[in-house]
Amino acid sequence: MVSDPPRFVAEVEPLAKNGECVAVNPNGKVANEFLAQLEEAHKSAFGEIKKFEEAASNLQFEGKTSIGRNLKQVRSSLDFFRSSLLQHIDLEEKILFPFLKLHIPKLESVIHLVVTEHEDARRNFDDLELFLDSLSNQMSEMDRAKMMKKVQDTATYLVYLLKNHLRVEDKGIYEVAGHELKVEEKKELEGAMGKFLSKP
């Protein structure tokens, strides 16, 4: 029976030399810096999705007294997605995915799928922002209820899209890259990601 190679997990540990954080595998050995960066971005995104999901659900089930608080959280989560998450997506599309298509061609179909989901997420971020901006106290109660329904539906769709999307990337792309890239390829990728992230 062939045993699986050690799986890199999203535990983070500071290196004594320079204080940087890197992922460690279950045996305590330092894993790949690029995996640690990507996994950390997903960990932050999952935390924000949880808050976003709760606020979207509360919009439907809590009374009018909580609407302001829940809309504020939806807006805050949207701001996070449009800044931190879109920066992460940009890194994937401009650096990570082209590199992986070149070095691990079998990932091309999965990469195509997740890039399509990126486009879907961007469209829905735009729609959600439009719906939130359109909400007004001057609206009739019926128009406001219709707009709230659009906010709820779009937010709920985004919750499911983003959760599934991050899982596909974690299992279908990041793990494969961690196992299949050669050491020199990993170093090259880390360098390219570092340059990209250091741009103002």
Q: Is residue 166 part of a domain?
A: yes
Q: Is residue 170 part of a domain?
A: yes
Residue pair 34/186 in contact (Cβ under 8 Å)? The answer is yes
* Domain encompassing residue 188: 40-198
Mean pLDDT of the chain: 84
CATH code of the domain in which 176 resides: 1.20.120.520
pLDDT-based confidence at residue 36 (cuts at 50, 70, 90): confident
Q: Is residue 9 part of a domain?
A: no
Residue 5's pLDDT is what?
40
Instruction: Work out the average pLDDT over 7-33.
Output: 40
Report long-range pairs for 6-10 (Cβ below 8 Å, ≥24 apart): 7/175, 8/32, 8/35, 8/39, 8/175, 8/178, 9/39, 10/36, 10/39, 10/40, 10/42, 10/43
Number of domains, the chain: 1
Q: Is residue 12 part of a domain?
A: no
pLDDT over 80 at 193, yes or no: yes
Q: How far apart are CA 81 and CA 101, in angstroms?
A: 26
Alpha carbon separation from 183 to 3, 29, 114, 177, 190 (Å, rounded)? 21, 15, 25, 11, 11
End-to-end C-alpha distance for the chain, whole angstroms: 50
Range ranked top by mean pLDDT from 7-21, 32-46, 55-69, 108-122: 108-122
pLDDT-based confidence at residue 32 (cuts at 50, 70, 90): low
pTM: 0.79
Q: How far apart are CA 74 and CA 162, in angstroms?
A: 15
In degrees and rounded to multiples of 5, residue 170 shows phi and psi of: -60, -50
Poorest-pLDDT segment among 9-13, 68-72, 116-120, 145-149: 9-13
